[in-house]
Amino acid sequence: MTLILFTMAFVIGPALFLVLVQFDGRRWPLALAASIMVLLSFMFRTEASLSFGVDRAPVLLSVLLIWLAWIVVLVMVARAVRIAYPSPKARKWSRAIGAMGTTVPWFGFAAAQMMVN
């Protein structure tokens, strides 16, 4: 499980961010997508609290949706930085910092694992 989460955080997350940040367009579809992912995450989480011992899939799906919403929010921030600072250097830095920002949830997971063990 740890290897899967590590791969998601350090490979899939930054790659997804870099793909999404390439496209220019309106911001409201991204904001709507992030909002829907968070709402769905809350719905799965409330269902999971009743059956956590039996089925962990709703909890994992809830965490996945929150993480994807986090990536979408980082894409919106990177786009806002590109609009505010249109230089190529700012564009490069916003992409690099945003890709690194997708890994932040991994450190929360690692800290929780250290506390448990």
Q: Give the pLDDT confidence score for residue 54 in this predicted structure.
A: 65
Q: Give the pLDDT confidence score for residue 59 in this predicted structure.
A: 79
Q: Give the pLDDT confidence score for residue 53 in this predicted structure.
A: 64
Domain assignments of the chain as residue spans, ordered by start? 2-116
Report which of 67, 62, 48 is spatially closest to residue 7, judged by C-alpha positions.
Answer: 67
pTM given for the model:
0.85
Q: Give the pLDDT confidence score for residue 28 in this predicted structure.
A: 85
What is the rounded CA–CA span in Å between residue 94 and residue 54? 42
Q: Give the pLDDT confidence score for residue 42 in this predicted structure.
A: 87
Q: Give the pLDDT confidence score for residue 14 in this predicted structure.
A: 95
Q: What is the pLDDT along the chain (117 residues), one digit of tens a residue?
A: 678 888 888 999 999 999 999 987 788 899 999 999 999 998 887 765 555 566 777 778 888 999 999 999 999 999 999 999 999 999 999 999 999 999 998 888 888 878 887
Q: Are 44 and 62 in contact (CB under 8 A)?
A: yes
Q: Phi-psi bin for 63: left (phi > 0), alpha (psi -120 to 50), beta?
A: alpha
Q: How many CA atoms lie within 13 A of 29 on its CB side?
A: 5
- Angle made by CA atoms 94, 98, 14, in degrees to the nearest 5: 130
